[in-house]
Amino acid sequence: MKKEKLIEKILELKRKRKAIILAHNYQPPEIQDIADLRGDSLELSLKASKTDTEIIVFCGVIFMAETAKIVSPKKKVLLPVKDVPCEMANMINVEDVLALKAKYPDAPVVTYVNSYAEIKAVSDVCCTSANAVKVAGILPDKKIIMIPDMNLARYTQRFYPEKEIIYFEGFCPFHHLLTPEEVIKAKKKHPNAIFIAHPECRPEVIDLADYVASTSGMLKLAKKLPNKEFIIGTEIGLLYPLSKENPDKKFYHPSPEKMVCSSMKKITLENLFNALENLEFEVTLNEEVIEKAYSAVKKMLEIV
């Protein structure tokens, strides 16, 4: 089927199914273009929950679709590709969290939304890369357990020397792979560009950043700042919406070959069509898990 015909069929099926298509910022350009909403994972799930659609098709990784199900339990949530894991989310299990809770019984567990539903369900409160610092600051506790991303935890620790942030040694592989040497090389090549790093980057990369921001934060900064050149320290997919929204500005990547999330690139127009036609692959979660995980998400929304 030709691309134009395929797009037409997808839009036709979307209307017929009363569906909404969500695309994360790291998705391929053609998926971002056909989506009704594009953005960060939690932001997308919350926006979709406020629509009267019956089906959510989430073009992202498994934990993102789970989050959509947590905040919209009555809606059918579909993933166009079944096998789209998040490597960082795979690094931690419930037993790991329970062991940390047993070791530090008075410390609340702050869980990054980039985690599976069962992990959120044994947590006290969730956070995003955009609000992790704020969440940690609002909590009165002097000790905080932050999972699963050690780099986000170490970045947050910088703001609160009076607190102890205990972290699990998980990380996002492609953010963790970015080296200071690559950033320095990019800065030398583009001396007029400012460097924006994602908080999932390692500390020595954060040290070189002019700004640290989530993907939605990077999009906002690019629009707001008068600068015309930017080096972007996150997954390569973000350069597409950045360039599209700011045609008068230039965006460079310090490590375009390494900083690619393979799971994010698996979704195509063909399997998006199949998802809508065959209503596959449906995300299902235990009711108790939904309830407990939603409690952690709700607490975050209440305090920030």
190 and 220 share a domain? yes
155 and 294 share a domain? yes
Rounded to whole angstroms, how far apart are CA atoms 34 and 4?
11
Residue 304 pLDDT level (bands cut at 50, 70, 90): confident
Q: What is the pLDDT of residues 191-206, one digit of tens each?
A: 999 999 999 999 999 9
pTM: 0.96
129 and 98 share a domain? yes
Domains: count for the chain: 3
Instruction: Determine, yes or no, domain membership for 58.
Output: yes
% helix, strand, coil for the chain, step of 5:
45, 15, 40
Q: What is the pLDDT of residues 257-286, one digit of tens each?
A: 999 999 999 999 999 999 999 999 999 999
Does the pLDDT of residue 148 top 90, yes or no?
yes
> HSE-up of 102 (CA within 13 Å, CB side)?
6
Q: What is the domain-level CATH number for residue 99?
A: 3.40.50.10800
In this structure, the number of other CB atoms found within 10 A of the CB of residue 95 comes to: 9
17 and 72 share a domain? yes
94 and 168 share a domain? yes
Q: What is the pLDDT of residues 43-75, one digit of tens each?
A: 999 999 999 999 999 999 999 999 999 999 999
Instruction: Determine, yes or no, domain membership for 126.
Output: yes
202 and 153 share a domain? no
Q: How far is CA 165 from the centre of its chain?
A: 21
For residue 43, give its domain range. 3-84+264-285
Instruction: Determine, yes or no, domain membership for 258.
Output: no
Instruction: Determine, yes or no, domain membership for 27.
Output: yes
190 and 224 share a domain? yes
Instruction: Determine, yes or no, domain membership for 259.
Output: no
- Select from 21, 110, 81 the least CA-distant residue to 262: 81
105 and 80 share a domain? no
298 and 149 share a domain? yes
Q: Cβ distance 289 to 118 under 8 Å?
A: yes
182 and 224 share a domain? yes
280 and 216 share a domain? no
pLDDT at 1: 78
